[in-house]
A and B are shown apart, each in its own frame.
Chain A
Amino acid sequence: MSEYLPMKKLNMIEAINDALDVMMARDSNIVVMGEDVGYFGGVFRATAGLQKKYGRTRVFDTPISECGIIGVAVGMGAYGLRPVPEIQFADYIYPGLDQLVSEAARLRYRSAGEFTAPITVRSPFGGGIFGGQTHSQSPEALFTHVAGLKTVIPSTPHDAKGLLIAAIEDNDPVIFFEPKRIYNGPFNGYYDKPVEPWSRHPDGAVPEGYYRIPLGKARVVREGEAMTVLAYGTMVHVAEAVLADKGVDAEIIDLRTLVPLDIETIEASVRKTGKCLIVHEATRTGGFGAELSALVQERCFYALEAPIERVTGFDTPYPHSLEWAYFPGPVRIGEAVDRLLKA
């Protein structure tokens, strides 16, 4: 449907802003709130201009209290609003965890559908911006572990808009993590080289107006035969660049939604290629890669020709000066690709 709409070139922040704008115009029950999101328009400018357009009772600043932000959103959802709170950095989300895990995620179940939490929690996540340990984390596995939460991570402006619209329309709580390293361009992991802006990338073309990308549907970035690469967010672009450099005919799958997961696309690809590489920036132990690895092993064991490879961040806090030693960049991915090719 989106291909019939006129397109415009946007970076990921503009695409997110556009999605919020489109939805706020369509549905007066949508409210946007968070630290610095009102007059100022957010520290990353994702909500710029929205307060001026929709007024202070629909777009407003909040106290610095993530527990309060999420808790208030749950109450607004119970009233009938569709809140889209912003948590300024994913690293700050923990004070709101009880409200997400014990309340938003379980409300439909515990009330047998009397009350629901149609909330989309937007939050910039991931590193590669010299943010140190409090502005770089990738905590998605904490949320994929919780029954009742959906977790969505876009990797392009085109997807960010369509997925955010679908998330806002979803009647269940959605964690929408925005990979802030690729807000302005598809960073490919070569940190010593300049980053291309989204305006030069095909997925920087974003349809105007309303369009949605269904949750639970992965995107095949590139078809290939040599191996299946499962990635999301920033790592989609890093993996793509490394495999292109190495001239490997890999099938790259951008998961887009971690829960619900598009298992069909994953299974079909691994059955075809016989090899699987999983890449994420988050810490390794108990990361979402472990879940992916278990699923692929359970479902595709007899098609596998090599051990499943996981490339991840290290099990340390996100360092500041040694950021690029931590980041699962081209060298770490390249080593895993070589192992799979030799197997």
Chain B
Amino acid sequence: MTEAPKDLWRSNLPPLQLHVPEPKFRPGDAVDYNHLVIPAAGAQARPDESCAASETHPLCLDLVRVLGEDHRAVGPWDPKLDPETLRRMLRLMALTRAFDDRMYRGQRQGKTSFYMKCTGEEATSIAPAMALASDDMVFPSYRQQGILIARSYPMVDMINQIYSNKADKLKGRQLPIMYSAREASFFSISGNLATQYPQAVGWAMASAIKGDTRIAAAWLGEGSTAEGDFHSAMTFAAVYNAPVVFNVVNNQWAISSFSGFAGAERTTFAARAIGYGIAGLRVDGNDPLAVYAATRWAANRARANGGPTLIEHFTYRAEGHSTSDDPGQYRSQAERTEWPLGDPVTRLARHLEALGEWSDEAHAAMDLELAEQVKAAAKAAEANGVLGHGLHHPFRTLFEDVFEELPWHLKEQSEQAIRERRIKWPEWKEDNA
């Protein structure tokens, strides 16, 4: 390590100090979230959807909340959904959780290589999916499986993709959960973070160029807001007033890096909107009604040529980053239990109970039914094979779709791959695959 020149130390100036953020709690620590400012539900103003962007900027440093401690929906952001819609929202969140549980176990049983749960964050994809039009184009990150579930995308197809089996519509090419579902207006997920943000802006600009009525919505985690793509997207969206809704799911952790490494010690993520001069909202991400209301506000604004909105969903990643992660190595396990904003499924269930529209018995029966539904889908998908068990796509598909047409060099490499296979398995024929 290079030492500072000696004469510098003799000056009257204090030595400069590098600040390296450190989270409040590490494994084994007791957790106290008293430092988090949680305003009362219903206390936040709801500006008109056509307001100047600056009118929303106080909300970037606040927290929009609808469900209060008494489980009642209060204040101007209450979307006033009917009980049937609320039950549907609850059911979709519970179904997402049941799906995650089954797929997590499937990975542990060796049926696939990788899985990512969204436990505790279900509201940030189910509620927006319900608030958007079904043909609004979504550009998700890797933890928005709830959108496909809310859009009634066949669960068997999701599992086929996770198992990379012969029925996988993506031909076994993508890491599990990196879905693509054009029919559900769901863009192909990339493992390179934040790239979907400028793409969503481009889609929204195209929609505006064509005089369409559909808008775009994009998701990423708070950690990825540090990527250049995030800032390029904000600039383009602001410049062209693009009809797009940006969702930042602030679940506090980017693998083992806490939100401080994306700038959370200085300001909120919603506050990025202030610098770009676009509308911004900071929302209790575990309050499905607040998430729904914020999305609806932003979607209505975008659809009326009011421009983009950045929504920060303040939530907590209750589980590991993925099946390859062990959060016990870097954070206190008490964080999950102490999280002051609770659990979105529980909160919505309690709200329905408070309305006299739900019960523990109904909830238990629903959970059983959903577990059976997921189990049946998993069984149907397993009939198409699981990862590494031979029931994959025909061999030639390895070389297809690199280009629209197969150029000579890929034809040659394809022949080589088939030759290699016949050396290893002389009886092998493409038909056996």
Contacts and interface: CB of A to CB of B under 8 A. Distances in A.
B151 to A, nearest CB: 15
Contacts of A74: 198-199, 202
Contacts of B200: 75
A113 interface: yes
Contacts of B207: 79
Interface in A109-130: 109-116
Contacts of A75: 139, 198-206, 216
B206 A71 contact: no
A237 interface: no
B192 to A, nearest CB: 4
A209 interface: no
Nearest to B235: A63
Most buried by B among A31, A78, A103, A259: A78
Interface string A256-271: 0001110100000000
B408 A263 contact: yes
A31 B199 contact: no
A305 to B, nearest CB: 26
Interface string A226-266: 00000000000000000000000000000000011101000
Contacts of A25: none
B203 A98 contact: no
B310 to A, nearest CB: 16
Nearest to B403: A172
Interface string A290-308: 0000000000000000000
Most buried by A among B197, B201, B202, B207: B202
Contacts of A98: 192, 195, 229
User: How many of chain A's residues touch chain B, expressed as a range?
Assistant: 35 or more
Contacts of A260: 403, 407-409
Interface in B138-175: 139, 169-171, 173-174
Interface in A42-66: 57-58, 62-63, 65
Contacts of A65: 232, 235-236
B113 interface: no
A207 interface: no
A147 interface: yes
A76 interface: yes
B187 interface: yes
B171 A71 contact: no
23 contacts: A58-B209, A62-B239, A65-B232, A68-B198, A72-B199, A72-B205, A74-B198, A75-B198, A76-B202, A78-B199, A78-B202, A81-B209, A99-B195, A103-B195, A108-B403, A110-B170, A110-B178, A110-B180, A111-B188, A113-B401, A114-B181, A115-B180, A172-B403
Interface of B: 137, 139, 169-171, 173-174, 178, 180-182, 187-188, 190, 192, 195, 197-210, 216, 228-229, 232-233, 235-236, 239, 401-404, 407-409
Given A68-B201, A150-B403, A263-B409, 4 more contacts: A71-B197, A99-B229, A110-B180, A115-B180
Interface of A: 31, 57-58, 62-63, 65, 67-68, 70-81, 83, 95, 98-99, 102-103, 107-116, 147-148, 150, 170-172, 216, 259-261, 263
